[in-house]
Amino acid sequence: GAVVSQHPSWVICKSGTSVKIECRSLDFQATTMFWYRQFPKQSLMLMATSNEGSKATYEQGVEKDKFLINHASLTLSTLTVTSAHPEDSSFYICSATRGTGKGDNEQFFGPGTRLTVL
């Protein structure tokens, strides 16, 4: 159990376009989902925390108007990169927890989405 999927697995787009990435928990209800970004040879950087039915909480330095997050149900969160530019090219990974939101719950990671902006 505790499988998280992401779609698409990779996407190439032109500069200025918007890209939507979906994150789904397949066999559990995710109370909280997280979105990370990872540049080559760097660690995962948390972008935002998403709770079902409420606004996402963004980390310092992450533009909420550029990275739109919607968590419409307990099994689906979406990240939309608006007006993408080459510097947005990265590996975007979501994770989900099924717990109470306290710090004792494992995060289950999706397989990631590689975004390349030309």
Partner 1 sequence: QKEVEQNSGPLSVPEGAIASLNCTYSDRGSQSFFWYRQYSGKSPELIMFIYSNGDKEDGRFTAQLNKASQYVSLLIRDSQPSDSATYLCAVNRDGGATNKLIFGTGTLLAVQP
Binding residues for partner 1 (CB under 8 A): 32, 34, 42-46, 49, 93, 97, 99, 101-112, 114
Q: Shortest gap between Cβ of 71 and partner 1 (angstroms)?
A: 14
CA distance 84 to 89: 8
Q: Shortest gap between Cβ of 32 and partner 1 (angstroms)?
A: 6
CA distance 71 to 15: 26
Q: Shortest gap between Cβ of 107 and partner 1 (angstroms)?
A: 6
Q: Which of 37, 19, 11, 12 is nearest to 95 (CA)?
A: 37
8 or 101: CB nearest partner 1? 101
Q: Which two structure tokens, joined as six digits, stand for 58?
A: 């963004």
